[in-house]
Amino acid sequence: MVGAEDGDPATLRFYEDIDFASMQVVQDGERALLVASTSSGSGELDRTLQWLDAEPGRWSTLSGNVLFTAPDREPLELSTAEAIEVEATSSADAGGVRTALVIGLVVTVVGAGIAGLVWAVTRRRRVSSGR
């Protein structure tokens, strides 16, 4: 991870169990997804959201793709190495994600068609043998 403020590499290490929350922005093709997670309960995540809402415009001034919060500390903005590489290489990978989604959709539709066909044939045999 890279600190958003100074650009120096940083590593987060936990030497004990602590409650924490994080919010990450993940790029999926041309859309950005916000993913929130917490280690236990929603207390830290609620505090993070309150911190964001406390100042008008705070959401729009975030510069990293990860916001990390731990007890008794201000939230910390971070950028992952992957995010920095994605920005540098633009959206060259977006085609791969779309291709995988299209293939998944085709496989699902074909599977549903085969299941429907098997159901129809099985039902027809039951109806004709019951006469």
Residue 2 pLDDT: 46
Instruction: Give percent helix, percent strand, percent coil of the chain, each to the nearest 5.
Output: 45, 20, 35
Break the chain into its structural domains and give their ranges: 2-89, 93-131
The answer to whether 27 and 86 have CB atoms below 8 angstroms apart is yes
User: Is the model's pLDDT at 1 over the cut of 50?
Assistant: no
Percent of the chain with pLDDT over 70: 71
Instruction: Give dist(CA 52, CA 61) in Å, integer.
Output: 10
In this prediction, residues 35-56 reach a mean pLDDT of 86
**39: Cβ–Cβ under 8 A, 6 or more apart, which residues?**
17, 18, 19, 20, 21
Question: Which residue in this structure is represented by tokens 């959201």?
Answer: 49
Residue 34 has pLDDT above 80, yes or no: yes
